[in-house]
Structure 1
Amino acid sequence: MSFTNEAATVPPTPSLERGLKKNAIGTRDIVFMLVSAAAPLTIVVGIAPLALAVGGVGAPSIYLVAAAGLALFAIGFMALTRHVQSYSGFYGYIAKSLGRVVGLGAGLTAWMSYNGIQIGLYGLLGIQANLAVKSLTGLELPWWLYAILAIGAVWYLGWRGIDVGAKVLAVLLTLETAIVALVAAFVLAQGGAQGINFDSFSPGAIFTPQFAAVIALGFSAFMGFESGALYREEARDPDRSVPRATYISIAFIGAFYAFAVWIIVQAFGPAAIQEFAAGHLDAGDTAYIMAGNYTGEWCVNLMSVLIVTSVFASQLSFHNTINRYTLSLSREGIFLKHSGRISPRYKTPSVAGMEQTILALVLVGAAAVLGLDPFTQFLIWTNSPGVIGILILQALTGLGVIVYFARRKTAGLRWYVIPSTVIATIIMCVVVVLMAQNVSLITGLPDGDPINTVLLVIAPLVFILGVALAMVLKRISPAAYLRIGHAD
């Protein structure tokens, strides 16, 4: 297997309805979609307690480290987007820099990863929706019922188009950001549990085995930031709006998450937060207790509603991302041609959206029948392969940037692009290794449990499957092979 960008005339894409709606979305819309994919309130309520339970008082710093690593990565990634046209996200860029064989492995890995992340979140949404309804009405319903309702709503908004989705996400993002800021103001005004301190950012809190164990959770908070590149086909002035939105999103997410999780540490005190968070993982109420202690029951009720809309916003953003990967793979003949059909009414990838909706219904239904815990089993078991897959894709994209520019004398390329990309690629590889070594801390299963092994090998196996398929296509269908990653 060689890292080559095979020069060949790409045959026409198989006939299908083409033409996404030209929404002319700008920087602000893309920022809303990227940050909503990261779901600020979802992290604070649903994921941060896990980071605190494992990583302890240093957990807020994982988001700053992740932001720094991804900022370095974005330098090379954005430089590549200016020289290589692709509306297929990581898949297209990897195919055009490392070759079609690696590219198809990346494409299938991306499709699997985003589906795993998006569908797993229905478990968290079901938990939080049940808590919200129960606290407001006393009615308790199964988590999967709320998940099914959300699946239908995500499908509808995705079918209506990105411009409609961006408006919904803007409202939801503003509300969830405001509630976190409000609770933070109350905690700071009352001096926290043990006085305001900055132990979370001290070397003693950062350079620990526990911190290394949860660093992957920091990177998982940025899983949707690649989506900006996927919206190039529908963006206004993509060479400016996409890079600008990407940098703004990374900076906002890193700073906001570090601040919000630091507030949780202040609310319970650095000496007590790890034990407290660990004791409340199953209930998922660490953030609610904080809000109740410092602001009152009214804030708990409001937060319980906004966490549901936060998860929903994230799922809508990921749904749109998955649809565009399906569209790209369909255009190239990897997926069925029918999957690439465009809605004649809304000019959206409607069939792709319906297929993703059916997949979500099947997996949620299976989890309900098997009686899986919606958080510790369904969410963790579906999200973990997705997070590993995206980290692998980021490392491959970084390698692609290095290979692409090393093979070309590109005029105007800044001197720091290659060094920053090399550092970022090394960081991604290290994070994958750390996550593999500490997967038992995330799943809560003992070392050596076969489920841990399965979760770790899913993404590499899907990648190998894609590589094998590309090699088969190269032999039996050269025309299909040449379309891999090149159907733009």
Structure 2
Amino acid sequence: MATVSDPPPTTTGAARTDPASHRLRGTLGPASIVLMVVAAAAPLTVVAGSFPIGIAAGNGPGYPAMYVVAGVVLAFFAVGFTAMTRHVPNAGAFYSYIGTGLGRGAGLGSALVALISYLTVQGAVYGYVGFLLDDLVTGYGGPDLPWWLWTAAVLAVTGLLGYRHIELSSKVLGVLLVAEVGIVLVLDVAVIGRGGGDEGLSSALVTPADVLSGAPGIGLMFAIAGFIGFEATAIFRDEARDPERTIPIATYAALAIITVFYTVSAWAIVSAWGDSRIVEESAADPGGIVVATAQEYVGPIAADIMQVLFVTSLFAAILAFHNVTSRYFFSLGNTGVLPAICGRSHTRHASPHVASLVTSGVGALLMAVCVIAGLDPVLEIFTWLAGIASVGIVVLMLMACLAVLVFFRRTGVDRRPWQTLVAPSLGLLGLAAILVLLVKNLPLLMGGSTVLGVGAGVLLAVALAAGWALAKARPQAARALTTASPADDAPLI
């Protein structure tokens, strides 16, 4: 075990001679980080896209309760995650936590899984946003262009913003997030203010028989997918104003906001149509029921605005995931896993500009492959890639919970039972149950294809296992994962 007298870990090459060029700088507070991680969750996309499917294929009017269940499980995860934050000085998020707790092999494997997960979820949204932009433009009389041209334009704008200082992205995301959340809240208030539809406000979310009806496992599966991105708070550690306080506050705030927002909004949608009709209506028009609800309760202008904000919601998610992914590349470049140039920061923007360009390049390559293969942007690109990402992120959170338990048992630097044993154990059990549901229903997430479902599982398993092989092949890579020292003098959060 390392002690506080151990020398700080170093990296190779230019990192030693020019440390400033390998550091990110910023003064992000909790609010700015919350904006970025909530934007990654794409609230309006979840409301308009996941709600109808979760209701129709899951547990019907009891579906809103699944967001409460998911929020509670992730809160257990967050307790251990934030307790360990002060002992993990590297801004590598999952792979730094897992590597510190479980060793370099597990850390490097989780880094590969994280890269695959964030790149695939970003690719999924790239496909969806191209389709929606084309649909929106043609709907207003514009030219009918191939969806991938719109995707290319979004990719270029995202790359430009990702190249510059993180605070520019934060401001853009703030504006877009306020707009998309605002229109949904207007809808929620309108439905609740009118007392719901003909059947009144739904009580299904607090009725055990309704919550457990239908297929609650599938409902929980779609609910947990709506939280992807909230866990990325730690990746902005180097750009936070006060990491030991900012990261925990941002993590809890993001989780609470997402949980309450999704639960109330799903309940409002169910209430608007009634418990007896919501499943039928959702199944009949999953892509348009939320917009139809806005038109009925708020008016046609609100419905038009929601369609536009649906597109901006996807763009906000892409930008947020781009920022997270580029910081993974940056961290891996700084620790010798990837070429050192990936770990260079821009002298003026203090941004991971090389890593951002790599992220854009990989995204462009992924979309090019999809276009050449002739894949449908929604039915194939979005569903397949989102399925891979959902499983990958849950695997990473489960491993992070295990890493927390092992780290605190091994080091003894924090002996608070709730933060270091009870909550992480409950999170581990909850995430394990969710992972079983995801794996069992992976073919459903992959468009109904068993072959693709198995292939996605094998891809993630191979990436994770490759971490141990990489650790042996590159003995100096990510050496900091085994030499990071606990910050015993930092205040407990």
Structure-2-length-normalised TM-score: 0.91
Deviations 1:388-416 (CA, angstroms, capped at 9, x unpaired): 11111111110111111112333563545
Q: Which amino acid aligns with 1:223?
A: I
- CA separation in 1, counterparts of 2:347 and 2:411? 42
Residue identity matched to 1:225 = F
1:341 paired with 2:338, answer no
How far apart are the structure 1 equivalents of 2:322 and 2:280?
36
Pair 1:241–1:336, CA change in 2 (3 A): same
Partner of 1:471: 472
CA distance in 2, matches of 1:83, 1:334: 21
Deviations 1:344-390 (A, max 9, x none): 33121111111111221222222223332222210111111111111
What residue number does 1:14 align with? Answer: 13
8 A Cα contact 2:408 2:414, kept in partner: no
Match of 1:87, SS?
coil
Residues 11 and 479, structure 1, Cα contact 8 Å, conserved in 2 = no
Is structure 2 residue 171 aligned with structure 1 residue 182?
A: no
Q: 1:485 to 1:347 in 2, by over 3 A?
A: farther
Any unmatched runs of 5+ in structure 1? none
Query: Structure 1: how far apart are the matches of 2:208 and 2:282?
Result: 22
CA contact (8 A) 2:117 2:392 kept: yes
The 2-side partners of 1:371 and 1:5 are apart by 52
* Native 8 Å contact 1:58 1:205 kept in 2: yes
CA distance in 2, matches of 1:124, 1:226: 23
Q: How has the CA–CA distance of structure 1 residues 424 and 19 changed in structure 2, closer, same or farther, with 3 Å as cutoff? A: same
In structure 2, how many angstroms separate the alpha carbons of the residues matched to 1:262 and 1:444? 27
> C-alpha distance in 2, partners of 1:108/1:348?
22
Using a 3 Å threshold, how does the CA distance of structure 1 residues 410 and 279 change in structure 2: closer, same or farther? Answer: same
1:114 paired residue number = 118
Aligned amino acid, residue 221 of structure 1: G
Equivalent pairs, count: 477
Query: Percent identity at matched positions?
Result: 34
**Alignment match, 2:309:** 306
Q: Which stretch of structure 1 is more off in the superposition, 317-326 or 84-93? A: 84-93
CA distance in 2, matches of 1:129, 1:426: 41
Asked whether the 8 Å contact 2:130–2:148 carries over to 1, the reply is yes
> Aligned runs of 1:264-303 on 2, under 5 Å?
264-281=269-286, 284-303=287-306
In 2: Cα distance, 1:315 partner to 1:293 partner: 30
Match for 2:454: what amino acid?
T
Q: Which piece of structure 1 moves more, 454-463 or 164-173?
A: 454-463
- 1:92 and 1:485 in contact (8 A); partners too: no
Taking the aligned partners of 2:464 and 2:175, their CA distance within structure 1 comes to 37
2:158 and 2:484 mapped to 1: Cα distance? 27
Within 5 A, what are the aligned runs for 1:170-249? 170-190=174-194, 191-208=196-213, 210-249=215-254
Amino acid across the alignment from 2:246: S
Q: Tell me the residue number matched to 1:44.
A: 47
User: Structure 1 counterpart of 2:157, which letter?
Assistant: A
Q: Map of 1:86-105 to 2, 5 A cutoff?
A: 86-105=90-109
Deviations 1:287-325 (A, max 9, x none): 112112222221111111111111111111111110111
Cα RMSD after superposing both structures? 2.3
In structure 1, what is the Cα distance between the partners aligned to 2:481 and 2:80?
Answer: 23
* 338-347 or 115-124, which deviates more: 338-347
**Alpha-carbon distance change, 274 to 58 in structure 1, aligned in 2, over 3 angstroms:** same
Cα pair 2:179 2:309 within 8 Å, conserved: yes
Q: Show the 5 A alignment for 1:447-462.
A: 449-462=450-463
Paired amino acid for 1:215: L
Q: Pick the aligned partner of 1:251 from 242, 256, 267.
A: 256
Aligned partners of 2:43 and 2:88: how far apart in 1? Answer: 32
Q: Secondary structure of the equivalent of 2:336?
A: coil
Amino acid at match of 2:14: S
Q: 1:409 to 1:65 in 2, by over 3 A?
A: same
Displacement of 1:175 in angstroms is 0.9
Change (3 A) 1:152 1:295: same
Per-residue deviation, 1:139: 4.2
Report the CA distance shift for 1:412/1:454 in structure 2 as closer, same or farther (over 3 A).
closer
Structure 2 contact 80–420 (Cα < 8 Å) conserved: yes
Alignment partner of 1:155 is 2:156? no
- Name the amino acid aligned to 1:42: T
Which shifted more, 24-33 or 81-90? 81-90
Post-superposition offset of 1:5: 8.3
What is the letter of the counterpart of residue 292 of structure 1?
Q
Query: CA 1:313/1:404 → structure 2, altered by over 3 Å: closer, same or farther?
Result: same
CA contact (8 A) 1:341 1:351 kept: yes
Structure 1 residue corresponding to 2:137, chosen from 128, 133, 143: 133
**2-structure distance, mates of 1:316, 1:11:** 30
State the shift of 1:6 in Å. Answer: 12
